[in-house]
């Protein structure tokens, strides 16, 4: 039932997976952290299969199975990729498009797009980022402002990133996720310096789309035992939203979007169907 295809874009060819229930059904577009292909992290969104919706998930240009000359992700390429996939869904199915940004950075990338376009019917996100608030990224604001010009001037290099150590609630399950991902992709923790620059500039660049308001109904997941994000981080972001909104507290860890994806997908579906 799942179909794989490539969409032509100005950045090359975007790899897209789709599950079509009915041509007239609502369309849910899913984005994820681009460290593995969407085909390898499909457990995140496959529970949506049981609902009367069409599902679309893709690899950003410069990542996963997407093809082309682009070597790494940028703020502009994120916007362009979302535009390309949404244009395909609108032309082939309908403009009843809902966006679920998942798996950490995938939620932040989706937030960046919604801030810029506000062209989906509703939005749900796991992981969030407020402009000029960089603690959630693990770096103090003065350091981020200092590092960005340096990364911008340097050629792209491979960097090894590591998750913060975690020994709390459901630690075994949360840590197991990373062990599983390393089995799938031994280079799971290796990232482009330009990818890091893109993420940091979203938080501090004067032209960042995060400075704009989200105007579409937005659901925010708040994981109560998250190794990356504090409870205050989620609360601060949610409080500053001026759109119709809902906060869903998940009594679990950062990687529960994967380990307990049925619960996330159930909340996503009901938010989009209310």
Q: DSSP labels for 82-99?
A: HHHHHHHHHHHT-S-EEE
16 in helix, strand or coil? strand
User: Using an 8 Å Cβ cutoff, are 243 and 216 in contact?
Assistant: yes
| β partners of residue 62 | none
Tell me what pLDDT residue 71 has.
81
User: Using an 8 Å Cβ cutoff, are 198 and 75 in contact?
Assistant: yes
| Strand bridging mode 12-19 / 53-58 | antiparallel
Residue 52 tokens, joined: 């009367």
Task: Calculate the dihedral angle through the C-alpha atoms of 133, 148, 191, 165, rounding to the nearest 10 degrees.
Answer: -40
User: Using an 8 Å Cβ cutoff, are 72 and 199 in contact?
Assistant: no
Count CB atoms within 10 A of the CB of residue 158. 9
The CATH H-level superfamily of 2-272 is Alpha/Beta hydrolase fold, catalytic domain (3.40.50.1820)
Torsion sign across C-alpha atoms 191, 82, 248, 211: positive
pLDDT by residue for the chain (274 residues), tens digit each?
A: 899 999 999 889 999 999 999 999 999 999 999 988 999 999 999 999 999 999 999 999 999 999 987 788 999 999 999 999 999 999 999 999 999 999 889 999 999 999 999 999 999 999 999 999 998 888 999 999 999 999 999 999 999 988 999 999 999 999 999 999 999 889 999 999 999 999 999 999 999 999 999 999 999 999 999 999 999 999 999 999 999 999 999 999 999 999 999 999 999 999 999 9
For residue 255, give the nearest of 219, 274, 227 by alpha carbon.
Answer: 227
Q: What are phi and psi of 98, to 5 degrees?
A: -125, 140
Tell me what pLDDT residue 68 has.
82
The pTM for the full model equals 0.96
Cβ neighbours for 76, distance < 8 A, ≥ 6 positions apart = none
With b for 16 or more beta-carbon neighbours within 10 A and e for fewer, the 69-107 pattern comes to: ebebbbbebbbbbbbbbbebbeeebeebbbbbbbbbbbb
Tell me what pLDDT residue 135 has.
85
H-type helices in the chain, by residue range?
75-92, 105-117, 141-153, 171-184, 193-204, 231-240, 256-259, 261-272
């Amino acid at each position: 039932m799942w179909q794989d295809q490539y969409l032509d874009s100005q950045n090359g060819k975007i790899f897209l997976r789709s599950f079509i229930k009915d041509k007239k059904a609502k369309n849910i577009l899913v984005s994820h952290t681009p460290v593995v292909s969407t085909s390898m992290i499909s457990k995140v969104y496959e529970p949506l299969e049981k609902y009367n919706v069409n599902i679309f998930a893709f690899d950003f240009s410069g990542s996963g199975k997407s093809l082309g000359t682009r070597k790494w992700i940028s703020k502009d390429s994120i916007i362009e990729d979302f535009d390309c996939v949404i244009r395909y869904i609108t032309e082939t199915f309908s403009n009843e498009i809902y966006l679920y940004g998942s798996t950490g950075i995938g939620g932040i990338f989706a937030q960046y797009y919604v801030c810029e376009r506000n062209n989906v019917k509703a939005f749900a996100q796991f992981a969030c980022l407020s402009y000029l608030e960089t603690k959630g990224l693990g770096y103090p604001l003065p350091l981020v402002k200092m590092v960005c010009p340096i990364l911008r001037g340097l050629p792209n290099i491979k960097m090894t990133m590591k998750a913060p150590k975690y020994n709390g609630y459901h630690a075994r399950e949360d840590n197991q996720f990373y062990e599983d991902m390393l089995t799938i992709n031994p280079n799971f923790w290796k990232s482009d310096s330009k990818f890091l620059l893109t993420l940091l500039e979203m938080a501090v660049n004067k032209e960042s789309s995060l400075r704009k308001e989200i105007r579409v109904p937005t659901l925010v997941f708040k994981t109560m035992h998250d190794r990356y994000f504090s409870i205050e981080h989620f609360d601060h972001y949610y409080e500053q939203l001026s759109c119709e909104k809902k906060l869903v507290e998940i009594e679990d860890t950062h990687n529960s979007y994967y380990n307990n994806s049925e619960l996330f997908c159930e909340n996503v579906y009901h938010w989009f169907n209310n």
